[in-house]
């Protein structure tokens, strides 16, 4: 049994709605339903009465709800106990970051923080967890990290309660099509392609956040794009390597191909039109409270970043104690 199954079930009981719980748990409804069924299979009994609407618990479901709350409380209690016993815990910033940003944005960002923030509070110690967007968000929600860095787009938002979580926009990132350069240093493939001869397409898997961004590009494309899916993976880095082999067109974050474009190994494949999308790069933290004050180091770093991102006229550092 997985801990997230317990959290899914508790959420379902509290919302009494599969769609709403799936949204709160940052997962699609079919995936959420499968996880509830996995829990039922593990227990060997039905927890949800599927013969009625709206959602209602079976007698076994009512019994298990109380047990699930107790089990999850014990698990989280042990985790917090062990975390607080780590000597380095209060001096290390735990970051949850999607794989692509962990390779492109984070290394330069950490270097700049060392230069700008380091002299103020000393060397910066960090621990990075590279995950998919869904699991990175869960790390923050479940208290597994101090900061979450991720992409965000209004049509595919990261749905975190603004009353509980603080957010800073750290930058912008464009997602566009690239292809290998030929001997003349021109892209081997260019959009939009033709219906009779679709272009080889290197795709993200359906569960990848960047894949959903590409779906938005394709849905909005005018004129329509003609693509033949030849390969798919959930990693932008994997698509980049296939594009470098000349296997087709891949939609990639600009920061992931800066070096390759400069060296004329890859080139934009959308020169005949505009088929791209822009995303925020956002940083989130759980808002400190008396019950969960968070690490002083994280609070200091957050104040520093917030002051940096303010308009020049507003850049007066306000200590947290004065807020």
What CATH number does the domain containing 189 carry? 3.40.190.10
One domain, residues 55 and 191: no
Tell me what pLDDT residue 89 has: 63
Distances (CA, A) of 283 to 102, 136, 161, 185, 252: 13, 12, 14, 37, 21
- Report the C-alpha gap between 10 and 19 in whole angstroms: 14
Chain segment 186-242, per-residue pLDDT in tens:
999 999 999 999 999 999 988 789 999 999 999 999 889 999 999 999 899 999 999
Chain segment 33-65, per-residue pLDDT in tens:
999 999 999 999 999 887 766 778 999 999 998
One domain, residues 33 and 181: no
- Among candidate residues 85, 105, 121, the one where a domain is terminated: 85
Tell me what pLDDT residue 323 has: 43
For 138, counting Cβ atoms within 10 Å of its Cβ (0-12 exposed, 13-18 middle, 19+ buried), the class is buried
One domain, residues 183 and 124: no
One domain, residues 160 and 93: yes
What CATH number does the domain containing 54 carry? 1.10.10.10
Ranges 21-35, 207-221, 253-267: which has the least confidence: 21-35
One domain, residues 43 and 58: yes
For the chain, the domain total comes to: 3
- Among candidate residues 58, 85, 112, the one where a domain is terminated: 85
Other CB atoms closer than 10 Å to residue 140's CB: what's the count? 23
Does the pLDDT value for residue 86 go beyond 70?
no
Tell me what pLDDT residue 87 has: 45
Tell me what pLDDT residue 309 has: 87
One domain, residues 130 and 207: no
One domain, residues 307 and 183: no
Tell me what pLDDT residue 81 has: 63
One domain, residues 273 and 296: no
Which residue carries 């979450």 as its tokens? Answer: 148
- Among candidate residues 85, 104, 131, the one where a domain is terminated: 85
One domain, residues 162 and 193: no
Tell me what pLDDT residue 27 has: 82
Which residue carries 């600009």 as its tokens? Answer: 254
- Percentage of the chain exceeding pLDDT 70: 90
Of 277 and 314, the one with more pLDDT = 277
* 8 A C-beta contact, residue 156 and residue 213: yes
One domain, residues 138 and 166: yes
In angstroms, the first-to-last Cα distance of the chain is: 43
Q: Which residue in 170, 101, 171, 167 sits closest to 133, CA to CA?
A: 101
Distance of CA 121 to the CA centre of its chain: 29
The residue segments making up the domain with residue 201 are 173-279
pTM to 2 decimal places: 0.71
One domain, residues 133 and 158: yes
- Percentage of the chain exceeding pLDDT 90: 53
Question: Kindly report the CA angle at 42 between 38 and 45, in degrees rounded to 5?
Answer: 95
One domain, residues 166 and 296: yes
Chain segment 105-134, per-residue pLDDT in tens:
999 999 988 888 866 666 788 999 998 888
């Amino acid at each position: 049994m997985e801990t997230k199954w317990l959290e899914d079930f508790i959420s379902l009981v509290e919302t009494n709605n599969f769609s709403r719980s799936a949204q709160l748990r940052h997962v699609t409804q079919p995936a959420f339903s499968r996880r509830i069924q996995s829990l039922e299979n593990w227990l060997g009994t039905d927890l949800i009465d599927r013969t009625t609407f709206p959602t209602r618990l079976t007698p076994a479901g009512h019994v298990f709800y109380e047990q699930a709350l107790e089990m999850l409380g014990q698990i989280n209690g042990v985790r917090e106990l062990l975390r607080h016993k780590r000597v380095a815990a209060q001096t290390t910033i735990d970051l949850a970051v999607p794989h692509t940003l962990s390779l492109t944005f984070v290394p330069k960002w950490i270097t700049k923080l060392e230069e700008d923030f380091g002299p103020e509070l000393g060397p910066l110690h960090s621990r990075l967890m590279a995950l998919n967007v869904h699991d990175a968000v869960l790390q923050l929600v479940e208290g597994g990290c101090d900061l979450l860095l991720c992409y965000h787009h209004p049509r595919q938002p990261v749905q975190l309660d603004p009353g509980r979580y603080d957010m800073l926009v750290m930058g912008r990132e464009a997602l566009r099509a690239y292809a290998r350069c030929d001997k003349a240093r021109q892209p081997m493939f260019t959009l939009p392609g033709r219906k009779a001869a679709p272009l080889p397409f290197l795709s993200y898997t359906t569960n990848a956040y960047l894949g959903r961004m590409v779906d938005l590009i394709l849905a909005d494309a005018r004129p329509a794009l003609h693509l033949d899916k030849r390969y798919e993976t959930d990693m932008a880095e994997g698509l980049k390597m296939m594009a470098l082999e000349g296997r087709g067109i891949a939609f990639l974050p600009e920061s992931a191909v800066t070096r390759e474009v400069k060296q004329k190994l890859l080139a934009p494949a959308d020169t005949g039109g505009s088929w791209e999308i822009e995303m925020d790069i956002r940083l989130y933290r759980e808002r400190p409270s008396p019950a969960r004050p968070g690490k002083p180091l994280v609070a200091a770093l957050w104040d520093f970043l917030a002051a940096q991102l303010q308009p020049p006229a507003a850049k007066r550092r306000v200590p947290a104690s004065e807020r």
